[in-house]
Chain A
């Protein structure tokens, strides 16, 4: 048996101290870090490798997929772990209030996602990984710069944020283990609905998606959802133990079927997006060939930019980078 070691900030014997809110929140943060640290470090490692080393996150759509994976795994776990593990009664009986717990959990879950998606989108738009690694090669082999439309960047950032927020809120307010773990379904559906609404507005205003509404509307809606969740969580009754064993097979089957449907839907969307992307690339390639054939034989290839990029994004490559060229 090991003796309880000397504890940081804890008195050696009986004494009275005043514990500030900041100190209590710090304690909660420490506890949550012990709980989710490995998972978050894992996501960070994958993000670094995919974005900065392998550059597989070269477009907002793969970044969106990364965000979706984060929502799927971290959303229910961070939002509803206490209820799923049956530790909610223990947690609620400790001095920190429900509001304290909610805010700390939110910071632990949403904070990394904001960094992953925000920095990731900016890095893709600015080709920061290539700038960091200095991997520009002026080979003369022109590969048209793949300019993603603004709506793709808006979606890559705001859709996972909205989906995580909704998933977090749903998971926080549920008490049933199985339902907690499936909280990403309503969370994703809510985010998809919001995205559809915002994209529809963009079509109505500009006759094409621009990301100018999707970008701000989804995070704003996420903030409202989180506020509502905050209020609801403060009225939550703590469950004494993990519920879940009593769920009927019919309900479990329904949940699995729903999950499969949502997964199929996401795959379908990705497939459609990939088709659009391939078409766009092909068009750009053809345009590049036309430009090349029209230019003088020894003239340096002129900057080529897809129309959508020119229309929606000015945050292109660094000045030193050969315009329109990518290794």
Chain B
């Protein structure tokens, strides 16, 4: 059995009209981790998650969850995975109670006690048709169903979208509880909200233009991403100059500013020893690191107001 709970290799999806949503994506989420997927609007996060769930068919590459391709997997394999979509519409004619009954018919590890507890905690009316509930309450029902399934893998696409701050906090707490329970549940979720990511994610992948730009542990992401400022004495940097390990570089006159992933002390020494220039190395906060990695145009896309 594979050690990775979720694995994608060379995953590619092109929609009608030639729009390439995901382009040769590689992703590996080990079992038992909470894995955050972050990226700008249109980066391809939702398409990636939908391909992993077998809702969309990849044009190229493979997507496996617990070793199974969910596009063709049988019911038993599918029952090990639960999903909350970004704009998911739940059956509106069923009540939460009826949906839970349905969940009990499908999921082998369905946990009624957890469903009841979550309904109370989220303050979800269980006897009214879901279609009559508010958007936020419907979202809570979707999350409740996914969590009560006790699936081995949870795939959540912007799960906090449309939730009020209290419900969002409750959701994050539930995910933390799942991670703390240590029963091997893997959570893959996409988000715009870096504070949520910071609270729960162990691993993080940054997506941009259909590809994973960086995939690492969250603490490593924070500790290895630096801003390097190189100030040359003359009019500008020499031709062909590049900061070692730079992800993005911006030049303004004699000043070259680069975002660098520092993976070793030797690399840091190499950066500091650029000849003929004064070098400053700055630490970055997590949010700043994400924005810098994705480019200045991403500023404003990551925050609590975004869904």
Contacts and interface: CB of A to CB of B under 8 A. Distances in A.
A1 B120 contact: yes
Interface in A81-96: 85-87, 89-96
A250 interface: no
B74 A3 contact: no
B19 interface: no
Contacts of A294: none
A253 interface: no
Given A96-B78, A240-B46, 20 more contacts: A1-B119, A2-B97, A9-B104, A10-B104, A10-B105, A11-B110, A11-B112, A19-B108, A26-B105, A27-B105, A30-B105, A31-B102, A86-B87, A87-B89, A89-B85, A95-B76, A97-B75, A100-B75, A238-B56, A240-B88
B100 interface: yes
Contacts of B86: 240
Nearest to B74: A97
B41 interface: no
Of the candidates B75, B88, B103, the one having the most CB atoms from chain A within 10 angstroms of its own CB is: B75
Contact of A14 (B92, B93, B101, B109): B109
A10 to B, nearest CB: 3
Given A12-B113, A21-B75, A95-B78, A34 B98 contact: yes
Contact of A16 (B53, B56, B100, B109): B109
Given A3-B116, A4-B96, A13-B111, A90 B89 contact: yes
A14 B111 contact: yes
Contacts of A31: 91, 94, 102
A96 B89 CA distance: 17
B75 A7 contact: no
26 contacts: A1-B124, A3-B116, A3-B126, A4-B112, A4-B116, A4-B126, A5-B97, A6-B112, A7-B104, A10-B101, A15-B109, A19-B75, A19-B107, A23-B105, A24-B75, A26-B105, A30-B102, A34-B94, A35-B91, A89-B85, A90-B89, A93-B85, A94-B106, A95-B106, A240-B46, A242-B89
Contacts of B85: 89-90, 93, 240
Interface of B: 46, 50, 53-57, 74-76, 78-79, 82-83, 85-94, 96-98, 100-116, 119-120, 123-127, 142, 150
A7 B87 CA distance: 28
A231 B114 CA distance: 38
A40 to B, nearest CB: 14
Nearest to B92: A85
A86 B89 contact: yes
Given A87-B89, A90-B88, A241-B87, A95 B75 contact: yes
Interface in A70-128: 85-87, 89-97, 100
A19 B120 contact: no
A240 B87 contact: yes
A198 to B, nearest CB: 37
Contacts of B102: 27, 30-31, 94
Q: Sorted from nearest, which 4 A-B pairs have the closest CB atoms?
A: A10-B104, A27-B105, A95-B79, A86-B89
A12 B115 CA distance: 10
A2 B109 contact: no
B208 to A, nearest CB: 22
A12 B104 CA distance: 10
A241 B91 CA distance: 12
Contacts, number: 149
B119 A89 contact: no
B75 A12 contact: no
Interface in A250-295: none
Interface residues of A, number: 48
Interface of A: 1-19, 21, 23-24, 26-28, 30-31, 34-35, 85-87, 89-97, 100, 235, 237-238, 240-242
Contacts of A18: 108
Given A4-B115, A18-B108, A89 B55 contact: yes
Contacts of A89: 50, 55, 85, 87-89
A24 B94 CA distance: 17
Contact of B89 (A12, A24, A241): A241
Contacts of B101: 7-8, 10, 30
Of the candidates A2, A85, A95, A97, the one having the most CB atoms from chain B within 10 angstroms of its own CB is: A95
A96 B102 CA distance: 11
Contacts of B108: 16-19
B125 to A, nearest CB: 6
Given A3-B119, A4-B97, A4-B112, A11 B104 contact: yes
Nearest to A15: B109
Contacts of B107: 19, 95
B160 to A, nearest CB: 18
A110 B109 CA distance: 33
A19 B79 contact: yes
